[in-house]
Structures are given as C-alpha cells and as structure tokens.
C-alpha cells in the first residue's frame, strides 16, 4: 500500500513537515474553499501543490499532492435541478485541470444533503481519549424534535423515539445547538456547513426522490464524467455512505456490496471505481470488509482504513484502528492479495493508496484542536499499527 495523509491546507494546524515525519509517501487534499459546482482552476491546483511541497520554514517538504479528497458533487447534480448541467460541465473541466497537474486519483461521494454524519465529534472514552460517535437516540432527538421533520418518528424504533424525547428534556439550549452543529457540519474541511433552514430546504427539494431515482441520477452523472476520466487516465473512486443507512427520510445508495455492483456495473470502466472505507461500510453488520475487498479489488482505487464499534440500536463510535468490528488483519491481507494480482497483470496502479482514516484524539491532540477526526498523534498511532500489520503479512507471506 502507498501510505498517504489527509491535509486540509494552510489552515490545518498540522504542517507539511509534521506529515513528512509520520513517514507517509504522499498527501491527500482538496480545494475546500471552492464552492461546490465551481471549476477548480489550474492556478488553484498548482497553488495547493506548492503548499504541500513546502515546509513552514520554506524548505522542501518532500511531499506531493497525490489523491484528491474530495471533488464534491453538488446537490443540484444529485437532484438534477437548478444548475446541474453547468455543474457537470465544471466537474469535467476540473478533471482536465487535475490531470494536467499530474493528479490521478479522485475520491468523491454521492450522499444527499448530509455527508458524513456524527452526533458527537469529540466523545470521551474511558481512557480520556476523544473520538467521533453516531448515537441513534441523539440523532432521533435532532430529527424529530429539533428539525421537526414530518413523519420522522416513524423512521425509528419505538424505544429510540422514547429515549430521544428523554434525551431532549435533558439538553439545555447550548447542548441542542451543539448537537445540531455536529450533525450539519458538512464535509471535513468544507466551508459549506448548513443551518437548520438549509437542511429543511434541501429536504423539500428532494421531495419524493426514491433510491432508484437517485441511483439513476448518479449513473447519469457517471455516464458524463467517467469517459472524460478514462480519456485522461484518471481513477474516480466513490466513497460509501457514512453512515451506510438512510437518514432524514432520504435514500442512501452506496452502502452495500449490492449498491457498488449496480453502479460499477452500470458504467463499466477502469476509471469508475471505489473508495473502500472500512469505517463507513463497517457500521453495517452485513458488510464483510475482507470479502468486499476480494470482490471489488480490481476497482478499488483508494483505501480508508479505520474501525468502528457497533451497538444494538444502530449507534457506533470510532474505535482504535485494530479494534472494533472489522478484522483489519484480514482486510489488509485481502489488499495485499489484490496488489499481488495487479503486479502479475502488469498494472501501473498495482500499489493502492491508503490513508489512516480518522483517529482518536490522544496525548497532545487533546490540546491542539483542529479538524474533528483528524488528529496528529491519533493518526500516527493508527498508521503505525496498520503499517505493522502490512509489514508482518508481507514478510511472512501470510496474506496469500
């Protein structure tokens, strides 16, 4: 695997030299300041490449921007409303500019309204570490009582509805605002967080868009952009839904192996691939991550390696990288098998980029602040553990 690290640009408290000290080989980044649906200009891309390549003292960092995460798909494209055709055209132009800059892997998602969703961005563990959590009762309190979505209570188990009402009674105004802010914060690094009014407006515009219709919109989008990516030698890789089940009455269409089968099969191209995120997919008990890696391996273009601990009501929290529900050793073994198969085929992309996804805030992270889920020390620990598993399997040949 090629070890990479997500960086949010100059405003990230983690500096390029810190990333280099982690021993990674490349950087994952994006132009978070560019509004969704707008063109990523060649000049802006070159500027971010220069920022990655330079340490804070002006010396070379030894790093390069290798993976885009994310080139966002606008809500207009997902709904096929408003300026969606212009946004598709802008997306194609952005792909042209990224290819011209030598960047080949582009991660994105197709989640409606809310992207990755958590109810607590810094949940305290018994050790004092902080991690991200999705609590079903807290989400129900938001959906039923704060957002006041019509019919919301019908989407939750009766015990969750009852607990949500109890939780709400125990929240003061600050706690209610904190819950709403955590849920609506948007993509990591994005400047496009939504307020409650914006969420309600989007839900109204989605109206009766079913899972089948949303998947059709996705396939329409791919039919437009995948030929461009293939011509340019790019690898598009769709990130799974996070969490991988419906929220706010909206469909989620990239949550299971069957979902990926449908979309990858509908636009069959080496440029149409998958970001295998073990944490997102691992929040569902029916997703077998090593089996999914074996099944979709030829089209897995990017790896997010993290782990979650599931609870009976659908809640989960982000556990340590080698803990949680996913057998990370078996998953990495499946990755190494796929890389060996690619080498035997002579594929240029036989080494798959991965990044240690998220991490618990530990030690100095607790004082540093920064983007929730992306601490320095917590990710360093995760990367060291993942690298150790990879090295042990490689040296012993135990992955075959």
Lookup result for tokens 């921007």:
65
Hey, what are 378's tokens? 């917590």
Hey, what are 12's tokens? 């990230």
Q: Which is it for strands 300-305 and 272-277: parallel, antiparallel or unpaired?
A: parallel
CA distance 212 to 5: 35
* Residues labelled catalytic: 239, 277, 304, 357-358, 374
CA distances from 324 to 125, 311, 314, 317, 358 (A): 14, 11, 14, 9, 14
Residue 308 parent element (H or E): strand 307-310
Residues ≥6 apart with Cβ < 8 Å to 12: 370, 371
Q: Write down the H helix ranges in 25-120.
A: 42-53, 75-79, 84-100
Q: Which is it for strands 307-310 and 316-319: parallel, antiparallel or unpaired?
A: antiparallel
Length of the chain in residues, anyone?
400
């Amino acid at each position: 695997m090629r070890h990479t690290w997500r960086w949010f640009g100059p405003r990230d408290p983690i500096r390029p030299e810190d990333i280099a000290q982690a021993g990674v080989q490349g950087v994952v980044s994006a132009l978070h300041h560019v509004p969704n649906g707008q063109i990523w200009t060649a000049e802006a891309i070159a500027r971010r490449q220069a920022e990655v390549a330079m340490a804070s003292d002006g010396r070379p960092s030894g790093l390069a921007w290798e993976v885009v995460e994310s080139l966002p798909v606008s809500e207009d494209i997902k709904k096929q409303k408003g300026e969606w055709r212009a946004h598709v055209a802008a997306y194609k132009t952005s792909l042209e500019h990224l290819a011209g800059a030598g960047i080949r892997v582009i991660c994105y998602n197709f989640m409606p309204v809310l992207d990755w969703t958590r109810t607590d961005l810094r949940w305290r563990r018994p050790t004092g570490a902080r991690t991200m959590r999705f609590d079903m009762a807290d989400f129900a309190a938001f959906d039923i009582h704060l957002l006041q979505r019509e019919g919301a209570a019908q989407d939750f188990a009766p015990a969750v509805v009852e607990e949500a009402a109890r939780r709400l009674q125990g929240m003061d105004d600050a706690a209610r605002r904190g819950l709403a802010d955590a849920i609506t914060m948007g993509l990591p690094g994005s400047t496009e967080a939504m307020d409650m009014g914006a969420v309600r407006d989007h839900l109204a515009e989605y109206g009766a868009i079913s899972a089948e219709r949303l998947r059709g919109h996705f396939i329409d989008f791919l039919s437009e952009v995948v030929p461009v990516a293939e011509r340019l030698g790019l690898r598009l890789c769709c990130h799974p839904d996070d969490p991988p089940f419906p929220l706010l009455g909206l469909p989620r269409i990239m949550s299971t192996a069957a979902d990926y089968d449908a979309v990858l099969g509908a636009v069959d191209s080496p440029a149409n691939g998958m970001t295998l995120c073990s944490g997102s997919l691992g929040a569902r008990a029916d997703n077998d991550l090593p089996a999914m890696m074996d099944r979709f391996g030829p089209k897995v273009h990017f790896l997010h390696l993290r782990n979650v601990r599931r609870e009976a009501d659908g809640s989960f929290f982000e556990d340590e990288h080698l803990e949680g529900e996913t057998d990370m050793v078996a998953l990495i073994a499946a990755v190494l098998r796929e890389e060996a198969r690619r080498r035997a085929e002579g594929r240029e992309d036989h080494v798959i980029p991965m990044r240690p996804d998220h991490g618990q805030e530990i030690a100095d992270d607790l004082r540093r602040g920064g983007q929730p889920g992306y601490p320095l020390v917590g990710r360093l620990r995760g990367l060291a553990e993942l690298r150790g598993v990879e090295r042990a399997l490689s040296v012993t040949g135990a992955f075959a």
